[in-house]
Chain A
């Protein structure tokens, strides 16, 4: 995948890198087991201080998105779901509410929002079976 960095953005560079990895995984452009460039390699490619790249990788590793195998590189981790279904539903509901508030204020009907959601869903790599139901 191609990383980008925008220095006019108000989002810090390390945050931009984190968002790009999360986005690429969600869209199915990156899969578990795919290897990411090393910190040094990426730092050189996008001309960014290596400590900034290292910070983004460390954060992603803490979130469980990445796994570093010593001597072999950094890889996209198998998805780990450690929250209960209930907690995850709650998190998603909050985000959906934010989105729906926006949709109401932009003047869309509920049917339009549903149709658009159907369209956009096709662009993402969803689980085919539901997560564990603990």
Chain B
């Protein structure tokens, strides 16, 4: 849909400042896209695929393609259908970055890759974002990868964007609290930003978004014996946030200037 192949029923999206329903060919040239599973025309050899793809673009950095293919020890004569999943990912990355796109959109690019190949692939992404003015938008289900390479995260729950903020900010916003009580813990507790609660006898566990003084005051009013605040890693924060019964707690960053950065988009649509 971001590439205008499907029209939105409702809502809108913009890429590089243009509505995706009306992307001009010149704008389209500044965007590269890698679909899930790295589909390619299988009867071609790597060299043929390079020549074929090149014909669609006015800018083409052939040195870069050569570098990437050499780096991954791929020969131009190899047939695409004979490549492993990891090699396919490498070829499609080479083809995608050759036109020097400003925006690279990757749909779960590391799906099905083994750990070593996945790390190599992420390394290539890091190299790309080292170049000024390059943005990568990628979706992934491996939260550890997202934490490594993404400086901004978006979370979609049920097709709606609920979170869009710096990765660190999301992590730091979601906290787990364990409250100890002398007697039985209260059955229920309500406060703004509460995602989930569990009553464990004399303990009450809470997951909160955007832990602040107001929440702290509400919690202290319960008079627990002890309050333990637990930091979560990105994966834990994501799980707690998305499976909470109150899903409608959006988390958006104050709009700030977008500098050269990669964007990690954890899509759960």
Contact = CB atoms under 8 A, between A and B. Distances in A.
Interface string A39-52: 01001100111111
Nearest to B146: A7
Interface residues of A, number: 18
Given A47-B149, A49-B151, A51-B151, A8 B144 contact: yes
A69 interface: no
Nearest to A48: B148
A10 interface: yes
B22 interface: no
A18 to B, nearest CB: 13
Contacts of A8: 144, 233, 235
Q: What are the nearest 3 A-B pairs in CB distance?
A: A7-B144, A51-B151, A10-B231
Interface of B: 119, 122-123, 126-127, 129-130, 143-145, 147-151, 168, 171-172, 230-236, 261-262
B7 to A, nearest CB: 34
Given A44-B123, A49-B149, 20 more contacts: A5-B148, A7-B147, A7-B233, A8-B144, A8-B235, A10-B230, A10-B231, A10-B232, A12-B171, A40-B130, A43-B130, A44-B127, A44-B130, A47-B123, A48-B149, A49-B126, A50-B126, A50-B130, A51-B151, A51-B261
Contacts of B149: 47-49
A118 interface: no
A37 to B, nearest CB: 14
Contacts of B151: 49, 51-52
A66 interface: no
Contacts, number: 53
A9 interface: yes
Q: Provide the main secondary structure of the chain A interface.
A: loop
A65 interface: no
B148 A13 contact: yes
Contacts of B145: 7
Contacts of A44: 123, 126-127, 130
Nearest to B142: A7
Contacts of A9: 233
A58 to B, nearest CB: 13
A71 B58 CA distance: 36
A9 B262 CA distance: 22
Given A49-B151, A51-B151, A43 B234 contact: no
